[in-house]
Amino acid sequence: MKIVILGSGVIGVTSAWYLAQAGHEVTVIDRQPEAALETSFANAGEISPGYSAPWAAPGVPMKALKWLFMEHAPLIVNPKPDMAKIRWMLQMLGNCTSAAYAVNKGRMVRLAEYSRDCLTDLRASTGISFDERQQGTLQLFRTQKQVDSAYKDIDVLREGGVPFEVLDVAGCLAVEPGLADAAGKIMGGLRLPNDETGDCFKFTQGLAAKAAAIGVTFRQGVSITSLNRTGDKITSVTTSEGEVTADAFVLALGSYSPKLVADLGITLPVYPVKGYSITVPVTDASRAPVSTVMDETHKIAITRLGDRIRVGGMAEIAGFDLSLSDKRKRTLVHSVEDLFGGAGDQSQATFWAGLRPMTPDGTPIVGRSPMANLFLNTGHGTLGWTMAAGSGRLLADIVTGHATEIESRDLGFDRYQKRVKPAQPALQAAPAR
Interatomic CA distance for residues 354 and 101, integer angstroms: 26
Annotated binding-site residue? 8: yes
Annotated binding-site residue? 391: no
Annotated binding-site residue? 265: no
Annotated binding-site residue? 161: no
> Going by C-beta distance under 8 Å and a sequence separation of 6 or more, which residues neighbour residue 388?
10, 11, 14, 115, 119, 200, 380
Annotated binding-site residue? 103: no
Annotated binding-site residue? 174: no
Q: Measured between alpha carbons, how far is residue 295 from residues 73, 87, 140, 172, 334 in Å?
A: 12, 30, 5, 12, 11
Annotated binding-site residue? 366: no
Annotated binding-site residue? 55: no
The backbone region for 192, taken as left when phi is positive above 0, alpha when psi lies in -120 to 50, beta otherwise, is: beta
Helix axes 144-159, 98-126, angle to 10 degrees: 70
Annotated binding-site residue? 50: no
Annotated binding-site residue? 6: yes
Q: What are phi and psi of 72, to 5 degrees?
A: -110, 70
For 185, the 3-state DSSP assignment is helix
Annotated binding-site residue? 9: yes
Annotated binding-site residue? 352: no
Which H or E element spans position 122?
helix 98-126
> Going by C-beta distance under 8 Å and a sequence separation of 6 or more, which residues neighbour residue 94?
56, 100, 360
Annotated binding-site residue? 84: no
Instruction: Please name which of 63, 60, 138 lies closest in space to residue 301, comparing C-alpha atoms.
Output: 138
Annotated binding site for FAD: 3-17
Annotated binding site: 3-17
